[in-house]
Amino acid sequence: MRLKKKERQLQLSKLLNENPFMTDEALSEHFSVSIQTIRLDRMEKNIPELRERIKDVAYQHRDTVISLSPDEVIGEIIDLVLEKQAISMFEVNEEHVFARNGIARGHHLFAQANSLAVALMDNELVLTAKANIHFKRPVRLGERVIAKAEVVDTHGDRTKVTVTSKVNQEIVFDGDFVMFKQHETEEEGG
């Protein structure tokens, strides 16, 4: 049963408040209407397109990262609770793939996961002490990688972080990172 326009627009607004990263295609499927109808609904409700929504969310978190400057994070941070969890999004573009097959070079996926693990730390000096990573399937040009990092254990200056990266809910990369946090007294030579 199709919703009336006003009800659909109300639900659209609510849905995008809960998940601002839904594409127009996914919204079109969800509401069983055309992509054009979704775009018109967004325009009428002054809801920006996906790229703008992502930038808005990423901008909200740019000043909460302590361990890196915003331009050192690979991908865009879209959620961050220091010392608990973080989420970032990485769009695979031409410069990230092998020219002959359109597959993303692995160091970009690693960099997204590693920089997210570093950004998660509430400390100015954070280094990766150890990483155990697994590539599950190739990531291709045009895919959007969502990485989620979670702190699972802390002992002294070491924090274990797990990172899982997905494309359309399918795991493409995961890893366990041990992060080293240098404390201020150590920096001052004490």
pLDDT at 190 exceeding the cut of 50: no
DSSP count for the chain of H helices, then E strands: 6, 6
What SS3 class is residue 98?
coil
What are the residue ranges spanned by the domains of the chain? 5-47, 66-187
**CB of 126 within 8 A of CB of 118?**
yes
pLDDT at 185 exceeding the cut of 60: no
Report residue 53 as tokens: 């929504």
Q: Which CATH superfamily is domain 66-187 in?
A: Hotdog Thioesterase (3.10.129.10)
HEC per residue, 11-55 = HHHHHHHHCCCCCHHHHHHHHCCCHHHHHHHHHHCCCCCHHHHHH
Q: What percent of the chain has pLDDT over 70?
A: 85
pLDDT at 96 exceeding the cut of 50: yes
Of 13-22, 78-87, 90-99, 167-176, the one with minimum mean pLDDT is 13-22
* Of 16-20, 75-79, 83-87, highest mean pLDDT: 83-87
**Stretch 125-148: mean pLDDT:** 95
Task: Give the CATH class of 5-47.
Answer: mainly alpha
